[in-house]
Chains A and B, each alone.
Chain A
Amino acid sequence: MTDRISTEIVGVGMHRFGRFPESSLKDLARVAIVEALTDAGLGVKDVEAVYSANATAGVLQGQEQIRGQTVLRDVGIERVPVVNIENACASGSSALREAIMAIRAGAVEIALVVGFEKMFVGDRDRSLSALESAADLDVVRGLGLQFTAVYAMRVQSLLARGSIAERHLAEVTVKSHDNGSRNPFAQHTKRFSAQEVLSSRMIADPMTLLMCSSLSDGAAAAVVARGGRVPARVPIRVRASSAGSGVVRYTDEDPTIAELCARAAYEEAGIGPEDLDAVELHDAVAPAELLYYEQLGLCPPGGAGEFFDSGATALAGRVPVNPSGGLCSRGHPTGATGMAQVAELVWQLRGDATGRQIDRPRLALAQNSGGWYEGESAACNVHILERLPAWT
């Protein structure tokens, strides 16, 4: 650990998530990139390498190749290496990890990471088909296996095990929309009662419309630099970067890839889940938040409902979870989501999260998962960030 090159996040930026019929991928990415570089006090010529994340532009825009270069040239970034990364909904955090690895290797001092996605294309079936390919089509083609169905089954299992009660599904969704309503970058900013959540249209039982993330357009970016290379008002250090791909679970008690990645991240950071002050996790449906409480070790196995009831994960709680509103409310433009989580945590750690700022966080965790095998995610990345200066 001591001889490893330290890595910092010195700038973040977002294009608001939502429905933007007039905006192309270039328009979305431009805003996130320019905001992140401006936040870092850098220009485009300071960037030494770019890690670009997108999941569905091949299917939805026909831009199957060089997606990163096409948006980067618009903002005057050329010549430097551009690596295009697709890892389903975990594309953004996968790109971040590659930037961190390049800096740790000493090959790059300033890297740009950008995730962008445009899912509204005027043809919902085509968008859903693009999402369906987050699985091994060789064996799931034609099943109608939408991600809401996959998460519905995972949540059903949590209910069957007695970890949570039915009421938690609505209550955690209310919390998600409450947080989203305070976030100027969020797609869905309306608050809802538990009754409204339950009476909204059924998507895949027990997931109702208001529990599910929806199609979204958006972009998010970060500037990652060798520690000390770029002067930052509030330096944010990367304490851990852990990655994995799906595993076969021989029994339903075997650890998931999110559990394995979280354990590795805690070990790398030399901390435990009890040390975290904030979490952004992958709630593709709002009740997945409950699932990941257990998988990230925030509460004991079987304790998700009780942990939620304690208020620990509320905005004013001990370890606020998804202060941004998460995927469900902030929005989930797949390739941008992982970087939106990081942007939110950087803002929270710096004290810049106007309207939703949590109380003086120092350590924060982001968990971003993507795709699926037979009951398991196909990709997962967990990052732990630390605010270096003490709060005054």
Chain B
Amino acid sequence: MDLTPALRRDVLARRGRAWPGENCLVGSECANCGQRAWPGRSICQRCGSPDVRDVALSQRGVLVAQTIVHVPLRGIPAPYVVGRVRLDDGVSLFANVRSLGKAAPPPWPVRIVLAGEPDSEPAFWFEPL
């Protein structure tokens, strides 16, 4: 398999991890096997093909697990919620979850929200639908 297309991929700094205008994260999609990935890959981890392109990941998904963290970290006041989300296109990722009422045990439908400021941490989080 010719891997050289991976050499021509633009640097991450120009591609970014999110497209704020479209309110979505940027992952990758493999033209060979169709697999999507977060974070985006330069070569597909499923089939090894370099025929991948950046793609807008699903804005919606399901919160499959979540925990309320009670220990503050520098810059992150506690309590806060961390969850694992399975997006509608199958991609799994960790994120903060906000506006989650107490009566919301997973699984729970959620949607992504991107931070307004470009260098915010976190850059995105999920809220219940």
Contact = CB atoms under 8 A, between A and B. Distances in A.
**A and B part of one assembly:** yes
Contacts of A128: 71, 73
A250 B89 CA distance: 10
A276 B35 CA distance: 39
A141 interface: yes
Nearest to B65: A153
The binding surface of chain A is classed by DSSP as mixed
Given A128-B73, A204-B71, A156 B93 contact: no
Interface string A129-146: 100100110111111111
B14 interface: no
B74 interface: yes
A375 B121 contact: no
B67 A156 contact: yes
Given A138-B12, A374-B93, 12 more contacts: A129-B74, A132-B73, A139-B38, A139-B94, A141-B122, A143-B122, A144-B69, A144-B73, A153-B84, A250-B46, A250-B90, A374-B84
Interface residues of B, number: 37
Contact of B69 (A125, A139, A146, A249): A146
Interface stretch (B3-11, B48-56, B75-83): B75-83
Contact of A156 (B65, B73, B90, B92): B65
A119 B39 CA distance: 30
Given A136-B39, A139-B39, A205 B93 contact: no
B70 A374 contact: no
A374 B92 contact: yes
A128 B68 CA distance: 17
B117 to A, nearest CB: 12
Interface string B34-61: 0101110000011000000000000000
Contact of B37 (A125, A132, A207, A248): A248
B113 interface: no
Contacts of A1: none
